[in-house]
Structure 1
Amino acid sequence: MEEYDVVITGGGPAGLFCALWSGRMCRNEGQEKKILLLEKKESCGKKLMLSGLGQCNVTNARDIKDFTDRYGDAGRFVRPSLFGFTNRDLISFFEERGIPLTEENGGKVFPKSKKASDILDLLLLECEKNGVEIRCSESVIFVDTDNDRFITKTENSEYLSGSLVIATGGKSYPGTGSSGDGYRFAETLGHSVTEIAPALCAVYPSEYPFSSLSGISFENISVSLYDGNKKTRQITGDLLLTHKGLSGPCILHMSRYIRAGNILKVSFIKEKSQDEFRKEFTQKISETGTMKIKTVLSGYGLPERFVKLILSLSGIETDMTCAHLSKKARNGLISNLTEYPFLIKRTGSFNEAMATAGGVLLSEINSKTMESKIVPNLYFIGEVLDIDGDTGGYNLQAAFSTAHMAALRICSKNI
């Protein structure tokens, strides 16, 4: 059985970053620790290469104080990591090592080359510089403890280590190696795992009459989530109609909370509540009797094809004038425009999802060290944790920040 000070399972961004910083910081403190990173695929960073459509949205340029709201209920937990290694620290890390970055819409930060391979190559180079041993095609099949040490078994070997870092990712894009192994390891070592579900994905309603409008988008509109009759979430953002369902930033961000059987109510009228729109629209109808209803609706910035379809769904003829609109039909139209209900059949699969909702229970992890509260010298970092952020670089930043936090803790101990 080969012995190491630290074994890291998973060669994604979190695993690589933890490995290189563990090696770097330990060396700076005069410690020569043997660090091994095990990757199940034939090469590291498979999922990183897909991020941002291969362009790698590494972080976001917004103020780090605004980040915590981007992780749903996990924002408070991830805050110490984010403030311990900020987006500015990450940007400096890459740029000081010859990878210039650029900021684009919404604060998204990419390498100027728009090549994820540049980011991966640098991470691998830094691991090499800092004495990290990487073994690919080494799929971990079992982990256990032996007194105060860890046993990590792969298909080829067994390793003994003083510290163990689980950085196996979630279940999204399983073809890249993220098949949920880390959850099994966590449970073997006594940890709890919350419900796992796809996140940052499209949603598919049971009935969907908007297929013909695929590609039409709406900016800054309100979407509300209902569990039965109870409203549980509301978000404002951009929405995209696809051939089979709903997508766009606000849907992707909401998807972490959506389950089959939930109802999404969409307001296609931006910046107005239903009551505000009802009052204004009713007044316009009464003042413009000879004008066509579709003409009034066009004044709200609604696409013409959408207006025709929503009128049809409301049982209103396309060329009907305001004077001929009954109160019942008007109320039905207002309801369809401000709270159109979609009964959700399913969310996108893990093959479609950009992230995983759920993971290792956060209450069992020290948020200031990423160390297990149950097993000393056991660490969980990145997406294996019950942390999933919005689109825009937030998930990668969390991966890098939690990895750095764990490395700090590892190097502060005499193993």
Structure 2
Amino acid sequence: MLDRQYDCIIIGAGPAGLFCAAQLAPVRVLVLEKMVLPGRKLLIAGSGQCNITHAGDVKSFTEHYGDHGAFLRPALMAFPNTSVLTYFEGRGISFVEKELGKVFPASLSADDILDALLDACDEAGTEILSYTPAEMVSFDDGMYAVKTLHGTYYAKVLVLATGGKSYPQTGSMGDGFTFAEALGHSVAEPHPSLAPVYVSDHRLADLSGISIPGAAVSVWRGGKKLFVRFGDLLITRFGYSGPVILDAARWMRAGDQLRIAFSPKKAEELDVLIRAACTASGTKQVQNLLDDAGCPDRLTKQIVKESGIPEGTVGAQLTAAMRSRLVGNFTAYPVEIDHVGDFRVAMATAGGVMLDEINKKTCESKIAPGLFCIGEVLDVDGDTGGYNLQACFSTAFLAAQRIRQIL
């Protein structure tokens, strides 16, 4: 048993697990990774470019984690975005800020971040066993036991850094939720986050690839508006994506109705604009009177068609009913969600280990002393823009601080 006994075992060699391990020297740490190589999901972050964090004021970060940002406040304050950049800059990596405050390594390669984490773990004396999936965890007589195909390993401290269920091909299959439940924790039902939506009767499929900056999208359920979000919208061949959809996907469900404002103008403003254009240029075709609606030409032409306006209709022929439908489709185009993208396409997982069972100042379990939950295994998911990786590093930092105190 002694050769398989460690001070701390970390399950999961993703960004949270590796960063936590790197902070623990001279503690004897074992990291168990189910995949052949560590960091598989990190390598696809930001389409392989690794949007590592966001450049905004860290005090505003809590607004970007759905309903659970308050839990992360101590972690974010203890190890903010500036600390993440300083840490990796100290390991020879420089960074660039791109659109909307997203921060990437200057090389635009996630490999550089993973290599830095692995080098740090090597320097800390961390032992990493790849292709060694944890099968079962238990606690007895002050020690955690982790059973694998290659044997059982023991430690006083156990860290669950297994991620969620998104991109299961990278190894994120929800194992950590099962382990947490085995040790007495409750788990909020996991569901996809940062996912595109697939819609029923997708009449704009031919416009796939068109992006609408600053679109407004409201979500309705049972005839009641749940919320409205603003951001860039992407029309896809199956439905809709882009930050405004991805960030709100955590709250969307099959059967919900989206009402999309393609035009930046309010309905009343657009109605006045169309009336004035018809009066000033009544012999022009309707689609040619809508340049000021703020939409791409192809989308404008399709919206005119969707509004039941016959091809060739000129401004002077536009009836009040036609104009009403036109304004409605530009400012509240209705589509029904068939389903939200599943874990194979979702970039993050909503749900996870219940936060009221975790000490937010240490990420240690309130139920099982010496058990820590960090990163996406927690019931926390962030918006696009680097917020999820930031949460991984910040929660890992808090856990490492506490682990050094108790070992």
* Contact persistence 1:172–1:354 (CA under 8 A): yes
* Contact persistence 1:38–1:135 (CA under 8 A): yes
The 5 Å alignment of 1:24-63 reads: 32-63=26-57
* Contact persistence 2:271–2:323 (CA under 8 A): no
SS at 1:239 equivalent: strand
Give the corresponding residue for 1:15.
Answer: 17
* Contact persistence 1:167–1:182 (CA under 8 A): yes
> 1:322: how far off?
2.2
Q: How big is the alpha-carbon RMSD for the aligned residues of Structure 1 and Structure 2?
A: 1.4
Give the corresponding residue for 2:321.
Answer: 328
Give the corresponding residue for 2:386.
Answer: 393
Residues 1:405 and 2:398 aligned together: yes
Residues 1:343 and 2:336 aligned together: yes
Residues 1:311 and 2:282 aligned together: no
> 1:285: how far off?
3.8
Structure 1 Cα separation of the partners of residues 332 and 404 of structure 2? 54
Q: Which AA in structure 1 matches 2:266? A: S
Give the corresponding residue for 2:178.
Answer: 184
> 1:136: how far off?
0.9
Structure 2 Cα separation of the partners of residues 355 and 295 of structure 1? 42
* Contact persistence 1:308–1:318 (CA under 8 A): no
> 1:279: how far off?
4.2
Q: Which AA in structure 2 matches 1:7? A: I
* Contact persistence 1:224–1:234 (CA under 8 A): yes
SS at 2:23 equivalent: helix
Residues 1:72 and 2:66 aligned together: yes
Which residue of 382, 402, 410 corresponds with 2:375? 382
Structure 1 Cα separation of the partners of residues 77 and 237 of structure 2? 41
* Contact persistence 1:198–1:348 (CA under 8 A): yes
Which range moves more in the overlay, 193-202 or 180-189? Answer: 193-202
Q: Which AA in structure 2 matches 1:16? A: L
Q: Which AA in structure 2 matches 1:131? A: G
Give the corresponding residue for 1:91.
Answer: 85
Structure 2 Cα separation of the partners of residues 174 and 300 of structure 1? 42
Structure 1 Cα separation of the partners of residues 152 and 259 of structure 2? 53
Structure 2 Cα separation of the partners of residues 378 and 276 of structure 1? 57
The ranges of structure 1 where at least 4 consecutive aligned residues each deviate by more than 4 angstroms after the TM superposition are none
Which residue of 350, 357, 362 corresponds with 1:364? 357
Q: Which AA in structure 1 matches 2:148? A: T
The 5 Å alignment of 1:244-323 reads: 244-270=238-264, 272-286=265-279, 288-323=281-316
Residues 1:169 and 2:124 aligned together: no
Which residue of 143, 146, 169 corresponds with 1:149? 143
Structure 1 Cα separation of the partners of residues 352 and 401 of structure 2? 23
Q: Which AA in structure 2 matches 1:206? A: S
SS at 1:22 equivalent: coil
Which range moves more in the overlay, 43-52 or 327-336? Answer: 327-336
Q: Which AA in structure 1 matches 2:18? A: L
Which range moves more in the overlay, 121-130 or 101-110? Answer: 101-110
> 1:348: how far off?
1.4
Give the corresponding residue for 1:101.
Answer: 95
Q: Spell out, residue by residue over 1:50-95, the C-alpha distance to the aligned partner (whole angstroms, 9 max, x if none).
A: 1112111111111112211111111111111111101100100011
SS at 2:231 equivalent: strand
Q: Which AA in structure 1 matches 2:105? A: P
* Contact persistence 1:294–1:318 (CA under 8 A): no
> 1:133: how far off?
1.2
Give the corresponding residue for 1:197.
Answer: 191
> 1:280: how far off?
4.1
Which range moves more in the overlay, 356-365 or 397-406? Answer: 356-365
Q: Which AA in structure 2 matches 1:18? A: C
Structure 2 Cα separation of the partners of residues 109 and 82 of structure 1? 16
> 1:186: how far off?
1.1
Give the corresponding residue for 2:214.
Answer: 220
The 5 Å alignment of 1:228-239 reads: 228-239=222-233
Q: Which AA in structure 2 matches 1:4? A: Y
> 1:283: how far off?
4.6
Structure 2 Cα separation of the partners of residues 303 and 94 of structure 1? 41
Residues 1:138 and 2:140 aligned together: no
Unaligned stretches of 5+ residues in structure 2: none
> 1:296: how far off?
2.3
Structure 2 Cα separation of the partners of residues 152 and 385 of structure 1? 20
Q: Which AA in structure 1 matches 2:344? A: N
SS at 1:121 equivalent: helix
SS at 2:248 equivalent: helix
Structure 1 Cα separation of the partners of residues 40 and 153 of structure 2? 24
> 1:289: how far off?
3.3
SS at 2:247 equivalent: helix
> 1:309: how far off?
1.1
Which range moves more in the overlay, 348-357 or 214-223? Answer: 348-357
Structure 2 Cα separation of the partners of residues 152 and 244 of structure 1? 43
> 1:266: how far off?
0.3
> 1:274: how far off?
2.7
* Contact persistence 2:136–2:147 (CA under 8 A): yes
> 1:291: how far off?
3.6
* Contact persistence 2:270–2:293 (CA under 8 A): no
Residues 1:120 and 2:122 aligned together: no
SS at 1:311 equivalent: helix
Q: Spell out, residue by residue over 1:217-263, the C-alpha distance to the aligned partner (whole angstroms, 9 max, x if none).
A: 11111001112112112110111111111011111111111111111
Which range moves more in the overlay, 174-183 or 323-332? Answer: 323-332
% identical aligned pairs = 48
Q: Spell out, residue by residue over 1:204-225, the C-alpha distance to the aligned partner (whole angstroms, 9 max, x if none).
A: 0011001111111111110011
